Structure 1
Amino acid sequence: MSNKKRYAIVLDASKCIDCKACTIACKMENNVPKGPYAYRIWVAEKPFRGSFPVIKRGFLPSQCQQCSNPPCVQVCPTRASYQTEDGVVLIDYDKCILCKYCMTACPYDARYESENVHAIDKCTFCYHRLAEGREPACVETCPPKVRVFGDLNDPESEVSKLLVEHEHTVLKPEKGTKPKLYYIV
């Protein structure tokens, strides 16, 4: 087992009830501005399945995919977007010039212009909490436990075990970004 961590989230979207606890926790924890275009995480509604009277509704929680091969980092002219040693993609707000190249490069539409920090912003896996041994706010808050956070380099972590035990996928694999958000299928 490597000493270097490689953080990831495994999501079981079948458990999602769209309660908004994750999005509210994220907004409060990270001082995300109000408004429809300011978000770090979101829950999309999936098309209805089945036929009347048995119809199922589904949801797809998403956020920055914390790519292993992040196009946002590659296009940033000031290196404001960068990747930590443990693979988390962050933004140095002081270096951001709001050119929006990173927004254009992100195939997941996971970035927004933040009036609070006067820079582009996105999910950071609540990086400030990780140093305290805490999970991201969205993971900690989710009542049905849709999201599981952990270290992929630790075979005993819950995320590693879930990926071994369940068939899973990532969003837009054809983009070659190697996301670290895994969806149980």
Structure 2
Amino acid sequence: MMDVIEKELSQDRRAFIKKVLGGTIAGSLLLVIPAGAMDLSAIPEQIPGMRADKGTFISKKRRFAFIVDITRCIGCGSCCVADKNEYQVPDGMYRTWVERYIIDDHDNVFVDSPNGGLDGYQEPRKDIENPVRDTFFVPKLCNMCEHPSCVQVCPVGATYQTDDGFVLIDTKRCVACGYCVQACPYSVRFINPETKTADKCTWCYHRVRKGLLPACVNVCPVQARKFGDLNDKESEVYKILHQPHVVSVLKPDMGNKPALHYVGLRREVV
């Protein structure tokens, strides 16, 4: 019976991923536009009041947070596809990726992320000898730390933190020394082979500044990704973080104080 169920799930995921790659998912991928490709202000505002903010950066009155619900993620890879489309990320590089955690009945933990989860997880692993007890997926992206290690080590000030809490990269100043890549405790940075500069997830700052949600949030079919203003008590992220969920951050002992929170974070996740 379990084999039949797994086969059906695999077929469903495969069909969904084909639709994502083909751009036929209505109402979601339509809101994923490569950076600079069009006037984002032409799209209806998704974050209330953002377009009323004036100035280069977002108002200090806002405090954004990102939430990933591991209990919802199905590992379809649509977030990775959206990110690659939005930023034209080079092959083999990932601003966001999805890891698969597999636990067998001997409590052995296996972690993989083939092609960053970009193609989804359509096939089960065949190299695990013992019966599988549990499988779950964990999306990874920039943690947008309050105390970012990458900013501290950048020798030319190319990696900086804005007044509104976003950690960004000035590609005109970056010398690709790689110090920030090494300093990040979450391994979310890389040297882009095309731009010859450091690169990472920015929580789609250019979209947020225009009142739009990050691309990956828009396309998630199961709403495993949430984004919003913690200073807005009506926002979904505020409500989630003030409800009795098991909400955690990665590597809290590092002292970086991430603004990326996980619902249902498991002890096996690193």
Say whether the fold is shared (TM-score over 0.5): yes
The corresponding residue for 1:72 is 150
The corresponding residue for 1:20 is 77
- How high is the TM-score relative to the length of structure 2? 0.64
Q: CA deviation at 1:152?
A: 1.5
Distance verdict in 2 for CA 1:3–1:112, change over 3 Å: closer
User: Structure 1: which amino acid aligns with 2:103?
Assistant: F
Query: Contact conserved, 2:78 with 2:219, CA < 8 A, in 1?
Result: yes
The corresponding residue for 1:90 is 168
The corresponding residue for 1:173 is 252
Q: CA deviation at 1:3?
A: 5.5
Give the secondary structure class of the aligned counterpart of 2:71. helix
Q: CA deviation at 1:132?
A: 1.7
The corresponding residue for 1:105 is 183
Q: CA deviation at 1:133?
A: 0.9
The whole-number CA distance in structure 2 between the counterparts of 1:27 and 1:124 is 13
Whose radius of gyration is greater, 1 or 2?
2
Query: Contact conserved, 1:32 with 1:116, CA < 8 A, in 2?
Result: no
Distance verdict in 2 for CA 1:147–1:53, change over 3 Å: same
Q: CA deviation at 1:20?
A: 0.5
Aligned ranges 1:24-39 → 2 under 5 Å: 24-35=81-92, 38-39=93-94
The corresponding residue for 2:13 is none
Q: Does 1:4 align with 2:61?
A: yes
User: Structure 1: which amino acid aligns with 2:208?
Assistant: L
The whole-number CA distance in structure 2 between the counterparts of 1:116 and 1:99 is 15
Q: In the comparison of the two structures, how many residue pairs are matched?
A: 182
Point out where structure 2 has 5 or more consecutive residues left out of the alignment.
1-58, 107-129, 265-270
Q: CA deviation at 1:181?
A: 0.7
- How high is the TM-score relative to the length of structure 1? 0.92
The whole-number CA distance in structure 2 between the counterparts of 1:128 and 1:70 is 20
The whole-number CA distance in structure 2 between the counterparts of 1:94 and 1:43 is 30
The corresponding residue for 2:203 is 125
Give the secondary structure class of the aligned counterpart of 1:108. coil
The corresponding residue for 1:149 is 227
Q: CA deviation at 1:115?
A: 2.2
Distance verdict in 2 for CA 1:129–1:56, change over 3 Å: same
The whole-number CA distance in structure 2 between the counterparts of 1:68 and 1:49 is 36
Point out where structure 1 has 5 or more consecutive residues left out of the alignment.
none
Q: Does 1:46 align with 2:101?
A: yes
Higher relative contact order (CA 8 A, sep 6+): 1
The whole-number CA distance in structure 2 between the counterparts of 1:150 and 1:30 is 21
Give the secondary structure class of the aligned counterpart of 2:238. helix
Following TM superposition, where does structure 1 have runs of at least 4 consecutive aligned residues deviating by more than 3 angstroms?
A: 49-55
Give the secondary structure class of the aligned counterpart of 2:242. helix
The corresponding residue for 2:51 is none
Give the secondary structure class of the aligned counterpart of 1:86. coil
